Amino acid sequence: MVKFFFIYPPSADPTTPPLAFARIKGAVSSHLGSKGRFEFIDENQKFTRYVVDLGLSGKIREWIRNALETSLPNELRIELERASAWSEHLAEGLLKAMGTLKTEHLFLDISRYRFAYETIEKAFHAFSLAYYPAMVGYATARLALDIRSSAQAREALSSARLNPYLHYFEARVPDYEKADVLGISVVYSSQLLPSLTLAKLVKQRNKGALVIMGGPCASSLRSELEDGFGEFVDLVIPGDAEAFFQYLCDRGIELDEKAKSLDAAQTYAQGPPQQWFKEPDSRLDYSWAAIESYLLPEPIICLDITRGCYYGKCVFCAYGHREGYYRRMRPDQVVSVIKDIEEKIGCSKFFFSVDVVDPGFLEEVSAGLISAGLKIAYCLDARLEKRFAQRDFVEMLFRSGCRAISFGMESASQGTLDAMGKGTDSSYFPVILKNLFDAGIHVQVHLIHGFPEEPASALKKTIHFLHSFKEEITNAGASRFALLKGSIIEKNPKKYGISKMVKVGDLSLDYEYYCDMDTEYPSFETFKKTLFNMFPAVGRLTGSTTDYLIYAARYKPSELKKRIRRILP
């Protein structure tokens, strides 16, 4: 029997089973039937538990003590001394934290929730000091060596000092060394080093294994991974994994037939990108998942009711699979899938894991959920479209279970929005925000700092707007502008005031760039501080997370903001 292992690596959100596995399981099972033994392993969730267990067992505290007796760089010694002060109580704190995150009434006590989140973050911080200045966090990773080139990746792969995942996977690899096929889902760049680490370790023990990578990050670096790491990465599948498995099935090729699969994959990758994608359907299977092991008091399931972006004109964006067209699950399938998951798993909260949802489709889905009498809560990402200015539409969303929406506002300055190609009208923003607030739907807005040639006056206008609507907006987050590979700006940077752009490494998904900015333009740190003062946040209660959905389902926006402000200085 053929042994298939599908892996979701660290570091990403560890609170919910990866959606990719639920999709792949149905596709692969129908392709191979009883011929294969399939194992879907969430190494991201297991790695989180691994770090927590190091803290519970006292090993982190012991390592800190031993490290302080050695010769150390001054900055690291200071960090270790700080960690030493609280590590004595780390195990006790982690026990309380785990209990809080798994118990609803404790989870919803915001003071206890804050303690739990910060305690787990402390465990990750202390763990990371062994790889200083790397910082592996709860759902985040910042490595000591910025992996932006194949040379940097190879250096980290062979260094226990630079690679926080090496010891972990060395202990885990015996479970995989007899695999016939090892599939690794690389969604985010933070997952690249752990993915390559596992692939290399498996190939060292089993050269005959077929190692496949997929996911948006891997797809974006397909040629770089296959050419630069070909000795342990056999192929990278572009687009939706289930589309590739269907491609093999249609041609009568079994995945365990390595030579045929590799030849087919090359033909597939060189073919028209449209074949790499398919409409999401009702074939979702979460039966492999140990739902109770995730650090939430109740299950939350990701559901890709849409894939891709229906707009596709924002000049800065290169999110997800760039070649993919906008595709939607049928509204009746959305309802049937939710019913099925609710019956089998007992899940009533759903994270609509989408690039963006168009309002027309969202209206159809909402009507179906209401008609079916489903009592659920869900959150999603959307554009600030004029449709949200219609009160009846927003009230319908609330009745269907919508409790939180994350909007890519980017700016409140119409001039900046036009330069970005956003296609949104800022004059509608006030009524949209008021409608959502009145309906009881939480709103997060995301903003971009430092868009090329944006004047300081435009950013100040955005800040003034946010202040004017600080009650209607529950949370606001920001990121620095990044010149991304595959974006519209990349094709014509001078049009946007960029005088020079430099690719910093073959594995980098963005460029260093040069452009003139207003000398009075506020720094990113100042902007973030301004946002936090207006929209304080605790832990992962930042609008577009599973943790937040649980709170949004219980508390109205104004009530949650009061509770957060009550516990902060």
Indicate whether 129 and 165 sit together in one domain: no
Indicate whether 118 and 234 sit together in one domain: no
Query: Is residue 403 a contact partner of residue 364, using CB atoms and an 8 Å limit?
Result: no
**Cα→Cα distances 111→106, 206, 253, Å:** 9, 49, 55
Indicate whether 263 and 326 sit together in one domain: no
Question: Residue 31 is part of a domain; what is its CATH number?
Answer: 3.40.50.280
Find, among 147, 238, 161, 243, the residue nearest to 195 by Cα: 147
Most confident of 27-36, 117-126, 142-151: 117-126
Indicate whether 559 and 502 sit together in one domain: yes
36-45, 75-84, 541-550, range with the lowest pLDDT:
36-45
pLDDT at 78 over 80: yes
Is residue 148 situated within a structural domain? no
Indicate whether 343 and 492 sit together in one domain: yes
pTM of the model: 0.93
Q: What is the pLDDT of residue 28?
A: 66
Indicate whether 439 and 529 sit together in one domain: yes
Is residue 50 situated within a structural domain? no
Question: Any idea which residue has 């479970």 for tokens?
Answer: 175
What does the pLDDT average to over 127-153?
83
What does the pLDDT average to over 137-166?
85
Q: What is the C-alpha separation between 351 and 378, in angstroms, rounded?
A: 6
Question: Any idea which residue has 């207003």 for tokens?
Answer: 518
Indicate whether 423 and 344 sit together in one domain: yes
Q: What is the pLDDT of residue 36?
A: 63
Q: What is the pLDDT of residue 147?
A: 84
- Which amino acid, residue 61? R
Find, among 134, 137, 135, the residue nearest to 48 by Cα: 137
What does the pLDDT average to over 168-183?
90
Task: Work out how many domains the chain is built from and give that number.
Answer: 3
pLDDT at 357 over 80: yes
Confidence of residue 313 (pLDDT cuts 50, 70, 90): very high
Please identify, among 108, 142, 176, the residue that sits at the C-terminal boundary of a domain. 142
What would the DSSP string read from start to end of 186-241? --SGGGHHHHHHHHHHHHHH-TT-EEEEESHHHHHTHHHHHHHSTTT--EE--S-H
Q: What is the pLDDT of residue 32?
A: 55
Is residue 282 situated within a structural domain? no
Indicate whether 529 and 438 sit together in one domain: yes
Confidence of residue 19 (pLDDT cuts 50, 70, 90): confident
Q: What is the pLDDT of residue 256?
A: 63
Confidence of residue 164 (pLDDT cuts 50, 70, 90): very high
Indicate whether 165 and 210 sit together in one domain: yes
pLDDT at 133 over 80: yes
**Which residue range is the domain that position 98 belongs to?**
57-142
Summarised one tens digit per residue, pLDDT across range 514-540 is 999 999 999 999 999 999 999 999 999
What does the pLDDT average to over 160-186?
92
Indicate whether 105 and 172 sit together in one domain: no
Return the sign of the alpha-carbon dihedral for residues 506, 508, 510, 511. negative
Indicate whether 138 and 228 sit together in one domain: no
Q: What is the C-alpha separation between 391 and 532, in angstroms, rounded?
A: 29
Q: What is the pLDDT of residue 30?
A: 60
DSSP state of 412: S
What does the pLDDT average to over 490-501?
95
Q: What is the pLDDT of residue 33?
A: 55
Indicate whether 331 and 253 sit together in one domain: no
Is residue 280 situated within a structural domain? no
Q: What is the C-alpha separation between 319 and 217, in angstroms, rounded?
A: 10
